[in-house]
Structure 1
């Protein structure tokens, strides 16, 4: 396919995916416990006519949830694409590699030891949570780099095995810590760890935005390097590329994105696994195109998963993370068999 044809296909896929996301946002904001017409939504958002009940439902419940879902899906999709790029492993994913679990453990530790100290300033608690998540994610990343190396090179098979082991270990520690909490905090931590965004607030959006605004442009600006990382060692050395430094930069960016997402939405897995596979089939192998398309696909996945979770068992709600896992687990098994064959 020519360069012009690839660009046209990329733009078409990106626009269609974003259009589908907007449609899901529209359905999300107009449907729920009680339906609101699109005209009433527009009047409320643009302050043409303010109805107290509509104002509360749209601005305090539905809109923050939609924005958080879109941002988290966008970030997790991109993080998955980058992790698969730097490891050259199509099964790599923030959840499978233990980064989700490590960030979750760090945030549960924060909730257990520190949150009570800053209860008077909830905004401070929410703004500092991603930093603790980042520290936990970095711990997982360092352990991966330490144990998944074979003769100085990251071994893709070891990476998956070590990641699964780390995920189990951090998950067990998280469960142990959460059992020490009082019943109210334990219930909140359990729902949050399942990947629920139903308690989304504007403060959480403000806590997430700096990480996305800073890290995603860095990833996209350096996306051409991800293509070079797929070359053999001799070719990379001939180009003068410091492979380890580039991998570390991308890994730090991924850990930052995943940790910030986990701090506001809990553990929503498999977005970073599925989105890159779909993106590669749609736009090819150039990461300049894969990265934004992965973000758009991840956004669509989380928005659809959240909508299904809040409507299928209404008035009860199923966390978006569980809905996505119902699809993600069979897809992961399919990829394992495909790679084996």
Structure 2
């Protein structure tokens, strides 16, 4: 009976989130500097409207941007749920822990080398960026984990402090390297570091799709293992899980998603913090449901924030990362205060 009620609630929540995604997609497709009617948008999408301007606006600018926003929100939301479950820390987030910064540093170094040596092509760079981001994110994660062990266990408080310190340090190095770039490359790198999907294109979409196709099925199939980690490592060990091996696999999966997202959007913080919190409040602690709901909430956060970033302040366009931070920073402070009062 309880399981049936849970499933019904899960379907209701996902239906509402899906409706919100449709609304945000509709707003993003129709509104902007070049406004279009719904009929024009539908005709263009189904190739019934041969107007060149309409095709360029939809297929070259707005649709890739929406799709990238959906992927980035999904990846960061799911990765945030994984990291919070593994660390049992409600304040854990890919951005706050410095994993985004590690991936970002590796990507900026790659951009700097490519711009200086003038090697490779734009298409090759697009497909290799997620790999460099994965290497940087993995290096940052290993550093954080290495300095967060205390008496043979992972110290959640130390994890947060080490992550914040490392993120600040890597951010400073990233800024220093970007200052060495040419003015045009520096402008692009700065926009990228603040978190932006303004330059989304189909090549970027194709570069991250394989990562999601490989990683997401693994996560959703084995998500119930995260319930055990959230209850404590001893619980996981008691049911026969090889906790260290499981942690490594989950860490690799989450960093893969984060790196793919960072490679096309830059560092967008707080999505991985907000989404799992809201998901657990809505659906409880069953991670088979939490990961799905968290991913969908992340999609809504990014797409709605991107619409706000490009329309509310028009003709000036804010990076989507700034809009998300406007919501995320107060929520992070609220969580810190609540944790301190426990």
Give the distance between the partners of 2:231 and 2:296, measured in 1 at CA: 27
Following TM superposition, the consecutive aligned residue runs of length 4 or more in structure 1 with deviations greater than 4 angstroms are 115-120
Change (3 A) 1:231 1:120: closer
Residue in 2 aligned with 1:20?
Answer: 20
Say whether 1:216 aligns with 2:216: yes
Q: Are the counterparts in 1 of residues 93 and 270 from structure 2 also a CA contact under 8 Å?
A: yes
- TM-score (norm: length of structure 2): 0.97
Give the distance between the partners of 2:315 and 2:224, measured in 1 at CA: 47
List aligned pairs for 1:250-289, cutoff 5 A: 250-289=250-289
Give the distance between the partners of 1:117 and 1:4, measured in 2 at CA: 60
Aligned-pair CA distance for 1:236: 2.7
What residue ranges of structure 2 are gaps of 5+ in the alignment? none
Give the distance between the partners of 2:234 and 2:95, measured in 1 at CA: 32
List aligned pairs for 1:1-341, cutoff 5 A: 2-115=2-115, 117=117, 121-341=121-341
Greater mean deviation of Cα atoms: 293-302 or 209-218:
209-218
Q: Are the counterparts in 1 of residues 127 and 204 from structure 2 also a CA contact under 8 Å?
A: yes
SS of the counterpart of 1:75?
Answer: helix
SS of the counterpart of 2:231?
Answer: coil
Aligned-pair CA distance for 1:120: 5.9
Number of aligned residue pairs: give it. Answer: 341
SS of the counterpart of 2:230?
Answer: coil
- TM-score (norm: length of structure 1): 0.98
Greater mean deviation of Cα atoms: 227-236 or 169-178:
227-236
Give the distance between the partners of 2:234 and 2:101, measured in 1 at CA: 36
Give the distance between the partners of 2:233 and 2:111, measured in 1 at CA: 44
Give the distance between the partners of 1:128 and 1:76, measured in 2 at CA: 20
CA RMSD of aligned residues (A): 1.2
Give the distance between the partners of 2:291 and 2:36, measured in 1 at CA: 35
Give the distance between the partners of 1:180 and 1:117, measured in 2 at CA: 14
SS of the counterpart of 1:196?
Answer: coil
SS of the counterpart of 1:230?
Answer: helix
Change (3 A) 1:93 1:73: same
What residue ranges of structure 1 are gaps of 5+ in the alignment? none
SS of the counterpart of 1:36?
Answer: coil
Change (3 A) 1:18 1:118: farther
Cα deviation digits, residues 104-135 of structure 1 (max 9, x gap) = 11000000013555666211110000000000
